[in-house]
Amino acid sequence: MVLWTSNLTKEFGGITAVDGVDFSLEQGELCSVIGPNGAGKTTFFNLLTGVLEPTRGTIEFAAADRDGERVDITDAPPHETALLGLHRSYQITNVFPTVSVLENVRVAVQAHRGNDSWQFWRNVNAFDDHYAEAESILERIGLAEYADRTAQNLSHGEKRNLEIGIALAGDPDVLLLDEPTAGVSSEDVGQVTAIIEDVAADHAVMLIEHNMDVVMGISDRIAVLNRGELIADGEPETIRESEAVQRAYLGGYDGDDAQTGADDDSDSAPGTGVTAG
């Protein structure tokens, strides 16, 4: 195992966004986190990566370079969880639009090299190993031919692939992908999912995803959240047949969401102005 939560809970005033979640992730496992809008999926990711502090509960992480030693990261800020080896992408495309594809990944690689990431006065051209890693990542995500292209000139699907590449910088132990196919054309979804499957061959991967064809097609395991609670956790066929999951989706999606795939899990807790999804 590489990641554990115990009784993980996040409350916003009177709203419980994540409710006593016990969860673990194995090395090399591809686990999808699904559930209706407002179920607590993004809040769960935000807790794991230190964006939010839990109200109760613990989070532990076993980084590969620590020989499997479990480290309590419950209160660790995002930069610490990232340096330990827990990286993520976001719902909204998050790249530097006016610099090249290669530089987007190179900067991410440098940021995850703790010892030399802030050597401002060193010529960036001296960081040959950073460029080598960035180029290797671009090969893996199918963007090597666009290395010199400005990121804003990529298609939406290519930008999603670039985000995965940025999250791969520094060779994380766990990769969290928040709706990686959101807004991607049907023609490009297959390319994005192929990259995710390739990455999952040597990384633990968790993804939030609304496209059930994607979820059922690539997941080793599916965890289902509803109203902050983990209501089911198992192999795709088990989840497909679960009555509890069927009830949650019937109550949580309208026809438009089911057809298009909702791309926002950010219902706000009433009166708080805080995202509870």
**Residue 204: beta bridge partners?**
174
The sign of the torsion formed by the CA atoms of 225, 28, 181, 273 equals positive
Could you list the pLDDT tens digit for every one of the 277 residues in the chain?
A: 899 999 999 999 999 999 999 999 998 899 999 999 899 999 999 999 999 999 999 999 998 767 778 999 999 999 999 989 999 987 666 789 999 999 999 998 888 765 554 455 555 555 788 899 999 999 999 999 999 999 999 998 899 999 999 999 888 999 999 999 988 888 889 999 999 999 999 999 999 998 999 999 999 999 999 999 999 999 999 998 898 898 886 444 343 443 333 334 444 343 333 334 5
Show me where the domains of the chain are located: 3-85+173-275, 96-171
C-alpha 256, offset from chain centre: 25
Alpha-carbon distance values, 100 to 33, 103, 149, 271, 272 (Å): 32, 5, 5, 41, 39
**Residue 242, token pair as written in the block:** 């679960």
Q: Which residue has tokens 């993804």?
A: 207
| Residues in CB range of 275: below 8 A, 6 or more apart | 42, 43, 46, 266, 267, 268, 269
Q: Tell me the CATH number for domain 3-85+173-275.
A: 3.40.50.300
| Residues in CB range of 122: below 8 A, 6 or more apart | 116
In angstroms, rounded to a whole number, what is the distance separating the alpha carbons of residues 68 and 65?
A: 8
In angstroms, rounded to a whole number, what is the distance separating the alpha carbons of residues 91 and 16?
A: 22
| Residues in CB range of 177: below 8 A, 6 or more apart | 88, 89, 164, 167, 196, 205, 206, 207, 208
Longest Cα–Cα distance of the chain, Å, equals 60
Q: Which residue has tokens 């040959």?
A: 128
Q: Computed over its alpha carbons, how large is the radius of gyration of the chain? A: 18
